[in-house]
Amino acid sequence: MLAAVAFISVLGLLVFGHELGHFLAAKKFGVKVEEFGFGFPPRLFGIKKGDTIYSLNLIPLGGFVKILGEDGEEKGNPRSFAYKKIWQRAIILSAGVLMNIILAIGLASLSYFFGTPTPIDDNENVENAWVQIIHVDKNSPASLAGIKAGDIIMALESEGAIFQDIKKASDFQSFVASHKDQKILIYIKRGQQNFAVEVTPRPEPPSGQGPLGVVLSRIFIKKYSWQRAIYEGAATVFDLLLAIFLGLGYFLWQLIFQTKVVGEVTGPIGIFNLTGQAAQLGFVYLINLTVFLSLNLAVVNIMPFPALDGGRLLFLLIEKIKGRPIKQAVEKIIHSIGFILLLLLMAFITLRDILKIF
């Protein structure tokens, strides 16, 4: 239930924010917005204010805007999108992506202001640090015992030896190393739950793995003043944008030239699992995941691919160079083909997510 609520809330916020960008830009340039819907049809109810119907729809996974002239109609109408100058249309098309970036900066800033979990070295002297598992190897003792990424290590016990209040990763590693091939009780905090699991460290683990098959990180909560939080939030967002662009470029290179999907590309099912895990860890983790997803949505949408905002911007560039727009029927066919290809790619990625589960 928590995973479903988190997924709907995050996805709804991201898509709604994106469409809000288009809506505000269209209004700014005097373009008629026929409908601004929260969620997707069928419509539950709507209120008309001015020329715009503000609707609440049944499927709560984002929103949409219906803009007059977005498909090239009514070119002679000053309130039509098709009537506006190229630079105005370009801003309207780009506004959704810009809104996703602004949303990411705002959320990242809030995270830094209220306190965001930050990795630190064992030799750094801070208060209220803890040791958290950030990765669990498949088929390792930790995995078979039910330990998950995000679990916080509270204490260790083995044959009467107890190590409480674990504050450093080296403390955990030393205890485990000295109790190889012996049963260990690991006291764990997961969300609001506290429990113990029994596990036996391997005396000879596989290459690249430890006795338990976990990767640890020492974490503490870092807070900033609101001025510094905004700066850190913006800096984090632009660092993430660069990383996402580079990652997407590598993904496309592999897809086009090696005809395969590599890495941890994920679809709706994978995002559902991620949001559920983040929600269990805490609200700040869900905020940080939302920042990352918002930037991914921005980057994907700005790509010059048919049916995406970037693809429509590419057609505006061609119109500017040629001095006249491409025939509307041709553009519509190209966008339709692009949309079908995107659906096929999404279906393929979703199938990979399902196979990972089973």
pLDDT of residue 126: 82
10 near 4, Cβ under 8 Å?
no
The torsion angles phi and psi of 3, rounded to 5 degrees, stand at -65, -40
Which of 222, 240, 261 is the endpoint of a domain? 222
* Pair (259, 144) in one structural domain: no
Does residue 358 have a pLDDT over 60?
Answer: no
- Does the pTM surpass 0.85? The reply is no
Whether residues 7 and 104 share a domain: the answer is: yes
Active-site residue identified among 19, 70, 157, 331 = 19
Is 19 one of the annotated active-site residues of the chain? yes
The predicted-structure confidence for 69-108, as pLDDT tens digits, reads as follows 888 888 889 999 989 999 999 999 999 999 999 999 999 9
- Tell me if the bond preceding 60 is cis, omega within 30° of 0: no
Quote the percentage of the chain above a pLDDT of 70: 92
- Per-residue pLDDT tens digits for 293-331: 999 899 989 988 888 899 999 999 998 898 888 888 888
Question: Averaged over 222-241, what is the pLDDT?
Answer: 93
Same domain, 56 and 191: no
Which of 191-195, 216-220, 301-305 is predicted with the least confidence, judged by mean pLDDT?
A: 191-195
Q: 214 and 238 share a domain? A: no
Q: Beta-strand (E) ranges in 191-319?
A: 193-199, 214-222
Same domain, 123 and 110: no
User: Looking at residues 13-23, what average pLDDT do you find?
Assistant: 91
214 and 236 in a common domain: no
Domain count of the chain?
2
CA nearest 51: which of 63, 35, 39, 66?
35
Are 250 and 301 contained in the same domain? yes
Amino acid at 311: G
Range of the domain at 122: 118-222
